[in-house]
């Protein structure tokens, strides 16, 4: 299980949800929206990626960044 924390002032909630939608079939993803941040927990990662769980989590974070950048530029 890997826990990530996305600060709300840096990552808008829709960016996190878009990444969850993109990665949803590859892992069990729980999202908890808190005052300051959005907590994401990744578990039951697809066996194809299970031995690279850190890379999987980092890729997820990159996807959130991509969505946040699009959102910041008004492209989302």
Partner 1 sequence: MTAENARFTFSIDDRSLALLLDEALYPLDAIYGAAYLFVDRCYIFLDRPADKQVQVRFRTKSDSTEQDLEALAGEFANELLNQVLRLRISESTKSIREYTLARAFFGDSSQASIDALLAELDAEELADDPLEINVPWESGT
Question: Least distance to partner 1 from the beta carbon of 9, Å?
Answer: 6
Dist. CA 49–CA 31, nearest whole Å: 20
Q: How far is CA 43 from CA 2, 4, 16, 30, 66, in A?
A: 7, 12, 16, 8, 22
The 2-7 sheet, strands edge to edge = 2-7, 37-43, 28-33
Stretch that binds partner 1, among 18-26, 27-35, 40-48, 62-70 (CB under 8 A): 62-70
Among 28, 68, 75, 76, binds partner 1 (CB under 8 A): 68
Stretch that binds partner 1, among 16-24, 26-34, 42-50, 52-60 (CB under 8 A): 52-60
**Which residues of the shown chain bind partner 1 in the complex (CB under 8 A)?**
5, 7, 9-11, 55, 58-59, 61-62, 65-66, 68-69, 72-73
């Amino acid at each position: 299980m890997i826990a990530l924390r996305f600060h709300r002032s840096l990552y808008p909630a829709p960016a996190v949800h878009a990444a969850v939608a993109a990665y949803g079939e590859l892992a069990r993803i729980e999202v908890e929206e808190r005052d300051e941040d959005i907590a994401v927990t990744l578990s039951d990662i697809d066996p194809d990626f299970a031995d690279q769980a850190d890379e999987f989590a980092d890729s997820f974070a990159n996807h959130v960044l991509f969505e946040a950048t699009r959102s910041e530029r008004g492209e989302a």
